[in-house]
């Protein structure tokens, strides 16, 4: 039973595809290569280059490959970009997902795993944010994903489709075997930026905001290793295949690190004292967001293997070194 992975040439998607291949699960990738890379897709997985919003193409794919389940990653995912380009985010994330869902329902696909985000919560009132907390996104990115969640829930109650929505917290790190990783050179995510600064790929880095109401004044996030996200997806699919009801689950570890914690860890592990400038706040950033993980641990048989900031940083550093050596 084949799984269609949209966005499977991207950072998170390519790790999932690799994880499915490792478990001998047949998989087909649909990616427009706007931010993904052909080389990130393992040779065992056929790559179709095209748009998720192309209903004709998607319908053909679903029937030709006898798709049983769809894992939907294809999206734009940079919070500050969404603030300056909301139309791009609603179009790429919400409108394309609507088109995909039309094809999915028409083809009678059984299972859908959706890549959502902690950005749907906005700035939560509680220290740990649970899935039933009211979602008040602070950015078009979070809003665009929340709209897709809403469509998915409504569609599932009117059809036989079953879903798991996974709300990712801050995904970082790389495949420990270094078969894939975060390859976008101009990535803006904190761990990637800090690692690039440590390796001299950039002259230094900025900390955006030091006056937040957090212990050290910088934003707090729940960093999750990308390989633990892979196992969450594998378990989500197994759960649906086992007859589980549709569910919405946080994907994080349940404890937070500040921006300064991350910078200090990268400095220590790399042994490099790179330059850090303190800047004003970045638009769309909540002060602190950390997952309540009780639901995912209860509903799925999910046990994280890399709940350790040092391991995340080590793998991110190793991947960045490999990328740099390749590009020389």
113: Cβ contacts below 8 Å, ≥ 6 apart: 69, 70, 71, 72, 163, 164, 166, 233, 236, 237, 240
Closer by beta carbon to ligand UFG, 277 or else 325: 277
User: Does residue 34 touch ligand UFG according to CB under 6 A?
Assistant: no
Residue 239 makes contact with ligand UFG by CB under 6 A: no
Active site residue 141: yes
**The one catalytic residue among 111, 141, 168, 257:** 141
Task: Name the residue with the smallest CB distance to ligand UFG.
Answer: 219
Return the residue of 170, 180, 182, 248 that touches ligand UFG, per CB under 6 A: 170
**Residues touching ligand UFG: how many (CB under 6 A)?**
21
Q: How far is the CB of 306 from ligand UFG (least distance, A)?
A: 17
Instruction: Report the residue from 76, 117, 182, 183 that binds ligand UFG according to the rule CB under 6 A.
Output: 117
Sites for ligand UFG among residues 140-169 (CB under 6 A): 169
**Which window, 42-50, 60-68, 103-111, 202-210, contacts ligand UFG (CB under 6 A)?**
202-210
For the bound state, the minimum distance from the C-beta of residue 1 to ligand UFG, rounded and expressed in Å, comes to 29
What's the 3-state SS for 150-214?
HHHHHHHHCCCCEEEEEEECEEECCCCCCCCCCCCCCCCCHHHHHHHHHCCCCCEEEEECCCCCC
CA distance 260 to 68: 44
Among the candidate windows 25-33, 44-52, 65-73, 203-211, which touches ligand UFG by CB under 6 A? 203-211
Task: Measure the CA–CA gap between 43 and 6, rounded to whole angstroms.
Answer: 16
Closest CA to 301 of 225, 222, 240, 257: 240
Q: Give the residue among 36, 1, 39 at the shortest CA–CA distance from 20.
A: 1
d(CA 13, CA 20): 11
Task: Kindly tell me which residue out of 16, 101, 118, 291 binds ligand UFG, with binding defined by CB under 6 A.
Answer: 118
Considering only residues 189, 225, 260, 315, which one is a binding residue for ligand UFG as defined by CB under 6 A?
A: 189
Pattern 55-84, ligand UFG, x by CB under 6 A: ----------------------x-x-----
Contact 292, 118 (CB under 8 A): no
CB of 211 to ligand UFG, least distance (A): 12
Residue 119 corresponds to which tokens in the numbers above? 């950005």
Quick one: which of 15, 72, 162, 221 contacts ligand UFG (CB under 6 A)?
221
Q: Give me the count of residues in the chain.
A: 328
Q: What are phi and psi of 37, to 5 degrees?
A: -130, 135
Least separation, in Å, of the C-beta of 231 and ligand UFG?
19
Q: Is 101 in contact with 151 (CB distance < 8 Å)?
A: yes
Query: Can you read off the two tokens belonging to residue 14?
Result: 């390519």
Residue (of 141, 192, 189) closest to 167 by Cα position: 141
- Chain positions 263 to 322 lying near ligand UFG, rule: CB under 6 A, are 282, 285, 289
Residue 223: which H helix or E strand, with range? strand 223-225
The reply on whether position 208 binds ligand UFG by CB under 6 A is yes
Minimum distance of ligand UFG from residue 205's CB (angstroms): 5
Which region among 27-35, 184-192, 225-233, 299-307 touches ligand UFG (by CB under 6 A)? 184-192
Nearer to ligand UFG, 5 or 48 (CB): 5
Q: Are 164 and 246 in contact (CB under 8 A)?
A: yes
Catalytic residues: 141
Chain residues binding ligand UFG by CB under 6 A are: 77, 79, 117-119, 169-170, 188-190, 193, 205-208, 219, 221, 259, 282, 285, 289
């Amino acid at each position: 039973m084949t799984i269609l992975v949209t966005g499977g040439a991207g950072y998170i998607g390519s790790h999932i595809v690799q994880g499915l291949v490792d478990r001998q699960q047949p998989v087909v990738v649909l990616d427009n290569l706007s931010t993904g890379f052909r080389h990130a897709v393992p040779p065992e997985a056929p790559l179709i280059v095209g748009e998720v919003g192309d209903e004709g193409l998607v319908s053909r794919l679903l029937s030709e490959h006898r798709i049983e389940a769809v894992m939907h990653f294809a999206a734009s995912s940079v919070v500050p970009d969404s603030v300056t380009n909301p139309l791009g985010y609603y179009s790429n994330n919400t409108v394309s997902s609507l088109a995909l869902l039309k094809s999915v329902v028409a083809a009678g696909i059984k299972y859908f795993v959706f890549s959502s985000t902690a950005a749907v919560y906005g700035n939560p009132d509680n220290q740990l944010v649970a899935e039933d907390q009211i979602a008040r996104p602070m950015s078009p990115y979070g809003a665009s994903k929340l709209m897709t969640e809403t469509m998915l829930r409504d569609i599932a109650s009117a059809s036989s489709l079953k879903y798991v929505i996974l709300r990712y917290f801050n995904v970082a790190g790389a495949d420990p075997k270094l078969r894939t990783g975060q390859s976008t050179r101009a990535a803006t995510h904190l761990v990637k930026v800090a690692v690039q600064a440590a390796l001299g790929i950039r002259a230094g880095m900025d900390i955006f905001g030091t006056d937040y109401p957090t212990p050290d004044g910088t934003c707090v996030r729940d960093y999750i290793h990308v390989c633990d996200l892979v196992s969450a997806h594998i378990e989500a699919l197994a759960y649906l295949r086992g007859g589980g009801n549709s569910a919405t689950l946080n994907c994080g570890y349940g404890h937070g690190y500040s921006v300064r914690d991350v910078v200090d860890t990268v400095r220590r592990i790399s042994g490099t004292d790179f330059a850090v400038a303190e800047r004003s706040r970045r638009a769309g950033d909540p002060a602190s967001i950390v997952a309540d993980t009780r639901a995912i641990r209860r509903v799925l048989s999910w046990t994280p293997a890399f709940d350790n900031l040092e391991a995340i940083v080590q793998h991110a550093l190793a991947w960045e070194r490999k990328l740099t050596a390749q590009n020389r």
